[in-house]
Amino acid sequence: MPSSHSEPSKVQDQNFDKLAQKFANNIYGTPKGQIRAAVLWRDLQEQLPYFAGRKLRVLDAGGGFGFFSQKLAAMGHEVVLCDISSAMLEQAREQIAASAEPLDIQLLHCAIQELNVTELGQFDLILCHAVAEWLHDAKSTLAGLLSLLKDDGLFSLMFFNKEAMRFHALVSGNLDYVAADLQTRKKVRLSPKHPLQIADVQAWFNEWQLELRCESGVRVIHDYLKKSLPDNFDFQQLLEMELKYSRQQPYLSLGRYVHFIAHKASGPNNSIEG
């Protein structure tokens, strides 16, 4: 049965309690969400054979209603799903209860910064998708999260790509926005506050001695489509093209999000500090 954790600390990053349904719909209830899900699931499925079929302990950090938590639990893995939003976790609870098969998912209502190895132990696989760009200090938070990753484990990180954000604004004609370095006085609640540079994240991974095993752009085409599309436009064909070009440059670097999967080597020299 899913269980709850203590209330999150007062110092919080973005919380989607008031926007939970809208946010969930935007993530996976739209064509762009279907592309996101397809790219991430392909990447994960390609890496899971690394574990030779054994049952995994998985941490879905900031996982919302647990789209991938539920898919991995359905494969027989043991999952811990944490999120700062109680509303998102309530959606997860309802979906888990409605599942046709038992799902081994523990729910924790807390901020990522509150997760600790003493209480939870370590995990074979950690997911952190579309979270880093909402954090005030992504590097330190991710470094702390990696303390919960076992030696020889895998870390799946998807982050909002600042250069894609800039390029999208350029081709949309929002030149003043670009000139202001993507800062605006208007509050856009579903627009990430802290997009990341690919090179910065790569540098962090190198510093943490993580071996990058997978790199994909997420929505390398969709977000640049013209408003007027051909009469024979086919979403399934678009999805196939997204998967094809997601790992090819220069398209990868223009993905609205970028997905990395990295391996944490075993040994005495793999300590991670923020």
Which segments are annotated as binding site? 36, 62-63, 83, 129
Measured on CA atoms in the order 161, 201, 216, 61, is the torsion positive or negative? negative
d(CA 56, CA 174): 46
Amino acid at 241: M
| C-alpha torsion angle, residues 135, 138, 144, 146 (rounded to 10) | 110
- In the chain, where does DSSP find H-type helix? 20-28, 31-47, 67-74, 86-97, 117-120, 138-145, 162-171, 175-179, 198-207, 235-245
Quote the pLDDT of residue 14.
54
Summarised one tens digit per residue, pLDDT across range 66-120 is 999 999 999 999 999 999 999 999 999 999 999 999 999 999 999 999 999 999 9
d(CA 39, CA 247): 10
Kind of pairing between the strands at 257-264 and 149-160:
antiparallel
Summarised one tens digit per residue, pLDDT across range 170-202 is 999 999 989 998 887 665 556 788 999 999 999
d(CA 161, CA 195): 6
Summarised one tens digit per residue, pLDDT across range 110-156 is 999 999 999 999 999 999 999 999 999 999 999 999 999 999 999 99
Quote the pLDDT of residue 266.
81
Q: In the structure, what pLDDT confidence band is assigned to residue 227 with cuts at 50, 70 and 90?
A: confident
Distance of CA 203 to the CA centre of its chain: 19
Instruction: Answer whether residue 161 shows pLDDT above 80.
Output: yes
Q: In the structure, what pLDDT confidence band is assigned to residue 270 with cuts at 50, 70 and 90?
A: low
* Fold (topology level) of 27-161+195-264: Rossmann fold (3.40.50)
Percent of the chain with pLDDT over 90: 78
E strand or H helix that includes residue 213: strand 210-218
Which segments are annotated as binding site for S-adenosyl-L-methionine? 36, 62-63, 83, 129
Three-state DSSP class for residue 245 = helix
Task: Kindly state the tokens that stand for 164.
Answer: 């894609």
Quote the pLDDT of residue 222.
96
